[in-house]
């Protein structure tokens, strides 16, 4: 992408044409195994293959579907991505965050990022949803590196003092007071971490670990959107459990919790003003 912002604007125009909706209010990105949660959020008014929007690389990881839905949630129009792409698939950063930039170009002022995560903090258990309160971006990448944004876009020196909106987390806790919070560490992957790396992350303050979300959050905050992050703990991180880590089990855990996650999102989304 020579100009990722122009590419996002073009994808947003194509989205409006193919869905029949000029704008959307909220974007939701579903993580590994979360795709079945989409039906609980609501029946789609339109479904568009990502390939028809331009500049979208195709998700190739099991548990991620290369399509986006337009769904009504209360008075809100929701753009629901059924999957995402990752750095470890060999894509450039601009491609990884293209969905978020497209959503904001389409009018979304709130972005909900979900993921499957390994639990680091003692007490976190598989199947538990956790609100992301902050992140450690350990990918070595930023969507704001390289040439500066074109005229008319905010400065790339983005303030991340509140990367994940406290206001939106409060709304989520009103819907489910049992929701815990934690700091998410984002690594490149695709391999899982070593026990020594998990010990390092715990010492650095991480409660959760995964391979997504942080770069999308940076891109969203740069463009002024509020971010709500929600992790589903699908496994205990390396060295903390008795079983070896397996992506198939991660996807299966996400699918098992999909109805609960979709129901939670369906309750939260109409309140995210």
Per-residue pLDDT tens over the stretch 154-168: 999 999 999 999 999
Give Cβ neighbours of residue 47 (< 8 Å, ≥ 6 apart): 67, 68, 69, 70
pLDDT for position 7: 97
pLDDT exceeds cutoff 80 at 92: yes
pLDDT for position 1: 66
Compare 150 and 32 and report the one with higher pLDDT: 150
Q: Which of 5-19, 115-129, 157-171, 211-225 has the lowest mean pLDDT?
A: 115-129
pLDDT digits (tens, 9 = 90+) for 138-193: 999 999 999 999 999 999 999 999 999 999 999 999 999 999 999 999 999 999 99
Q: Go through the domains of the chain in sequence order and give each one's CATH number.
A: 4-271 (3.40.50.1580)
Q: In whole angstroms, give the CA distance from residue 100 to residue 112.
A: 10
Counting residues of the chain whose pLDDT is more than 70, the rounded percentage is: 95
8 A C-beta contact, residue 184 and residue 213: yes
List residues with catalytic annotation.
32, 64, 86, 88-89, 116, 211-212, 235, 247
pLDDT exceeds cutoff 80 at 249: no
pLDDT for position 240: 79
pLDDT for position 247: 67
Per the omega criterion (within 30 degrees of 0), is the bond before 160 cis? Answer: no
Q: For the whole model, what pTM was predicted?
A: 0.95
pLDDT digits (tens, 9 = 90+) for 201-222: 999 999 999 999 999 999 999 9
8 A C-beta contact, residue 108 and residue 236: no
User: What average pLDDT is seen over the chain?
Assistant: 92
pLDDT for position 105: 98
What's the Cα-to-Cα distance from 122 to each of 61, 132, 153, 184, 245, rounded to whole Å?
A: 29, 16, 42, 14, 18
pLDDT digits (tens, 9 = 90+) for 36-59: 788 899 999 999 999 999 999 877
């Amino acid at each position: 992408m020579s100009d990722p912002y122009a590419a996002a604007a073009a994808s947003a125009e194509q989205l409006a044409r193919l869905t029949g909706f000029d704008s959307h209010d909220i974007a939701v990105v579903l993580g590994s195994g979360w795709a079945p949660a989409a039906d609980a959020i609501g029946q789609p008014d339109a479904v568009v293959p990502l390939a028809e929007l331009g500049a979208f690389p195709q998700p190739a990881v099991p548990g991620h579907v290369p399509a986006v839905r337009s769904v009504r949630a209360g008075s809100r129009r929701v753009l629901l991505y059924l999957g995402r792409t990752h750095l470890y698939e060999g894509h450039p950063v601009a491609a990884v965050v293209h969905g978020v930039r497209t959503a904001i170009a389409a009018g979304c002022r709130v972005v909900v990022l979900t993921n499957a995560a390994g639990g680091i903090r003692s007490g976190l258990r598989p199947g538990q949803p956790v609100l992301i309160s902050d992140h450690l971006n350990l990918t070595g990448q930023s969507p704001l590196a390289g040439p500066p944004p074109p005229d008319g876009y905010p400065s790339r020196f983005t303030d991340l003092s509140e990367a994940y909106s406290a206001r939106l987390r409060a709304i989520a806790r009103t819907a489910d007071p049992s929701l815990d919070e934690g700091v998410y560490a984002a690594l490149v992957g695709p391999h899982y971490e070593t026990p020594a790396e998990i010990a390092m992350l715990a010492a650095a303050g991480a409660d959760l670990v995964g391979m997504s979300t942080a770069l999308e959050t940076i891109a969203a905050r740069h463009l002024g959107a509020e971010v709500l992050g929600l992790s589903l703990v699908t496994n205990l991180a390396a060295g903390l459990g008795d079983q070896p880590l397996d992506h198939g089990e991660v996807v299966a855990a996400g699918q098992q919790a999909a109805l609960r996650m979709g129901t939670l999102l369906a309750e939260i989304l109409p309140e995210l003003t």
